[in-house]
Amino acid sequence: MTIPTQLVLHALLADPEQEMYGIEIGQAAGLPSGTVHPMLARLEGSGWLESRWEDIDPRREGRPARRYYRLTPTGVQLAHEALARSAHGHRLFPALRPAGGPA
Amino acid sequence: MAELPRAAFWPDRTVRLAARVLPAGANRDRYEREFLSELFGMSRGQQTRYAIGVLSRSWTLRVAVRHAATSPAPGLDTTSPAPRIPILCRLHIRHRWATAIAEDGGRYQRCLGCGKDRTEVDSNNFGGKVLGAGLAQIGGAGGMGSGGGFS
């Protein structure tokens, strides 16, 4: 599991009941703006995430409806397991990992 | 309620362009709508950075959307038992490096024998075969170029 995916899962697991939209997830994960959607798409396609359109009146709110994401119950469990495996098998930050093979 | 700052022209066009990379249909429509909705409420500079980020990941998103239904969930182990680790890998004498594609589209190198991730990827020196995200294929030994198979 890549570091960015781990960061996204950590952000989502901070409050599994809370729905967040893309930018919020990216900011919570500390990732560059606009770069989380591929990860969200894969997680959603695998059933770890569910998403829905915000139920608002755009004219009243003055903005379009956003797409909100939330971990599914299965996703919460699988995310915890995956992060535990990643933490057990690898250091979280690549800068701290020992140097690999020759270039 | 006061209206939030609207999307500026170029960020608007940029995210629409990013959505065009996606296969035509419901996914393209959904992501275009999603990207545009997220532009609202940001300053022009933030919109520009967001649009550039979205565009830079548009092809990765396309791959993710197309493979979302078939790829295994990230981090899930298969049900098959772990294969034996080759002796050369155990002794860190020789790894068979191959390029893999992570679920977020990033590239990294992984040993075909023991599954060890290489910590640094030489973008000019990918060895062996390119692996699909989440799938391992038996490839050639990682001795191609100078990125050879030594641990």
Instruction: Give pLDDT, residue A14.
Output: 95
Q: Which positions ≥6 away from B67 have C-beta within 8 Å?
A: A42, A45, B133
Using the beta-carbon criterion (under 8 Å), do A23 and B3 form an inter-chain contact? no
Residue A31 scores a pLDDT above 70: yes
Locate the chain A residue with the closest alpha carbon to B6: A63
Q: Which of B15, B37, B65 to mutate to test the interface with A (most CBs of A within 10 A)?
A: B37
Residue A95 scores a pLDDT above 50: no
- The stretch A57-67 carries a mean pLDDT of 92
With a pLDDT cut of 90, the percent of chain B lying above it is 37
pTM of the model: 0.64
Tell me A94's DSSP state.
Answer: G
Instruction: Give pLDDT, residue B81.
Output: 41
**Spatial distance between the Cα atoms of A84 and A1, rounded to a whole number of angstroms:** 11
Using the beta-carbon criterion (under 8 Å), do B67 and A45 form an inter-chain contact? yes
Instruction: Give pLDDT, residue B41.
Output: 83
Residue A40 scores a pLDDT above 60: yes
Half-sphere exposure of A20 (CA within 13 A, CB side): 24
Instruction: At A20, give phi and psi (nearest 5°).
Output: -135, 150
B residues 15-34 closer than 8 Å to A (CB): 30-31, 33-34
Average confidence score pLDDT of chain B: 73
Instruction: Give pLDDT, residue B115.
Output: 76
- The stretch B52-62 carries a mean pLDDT of 94
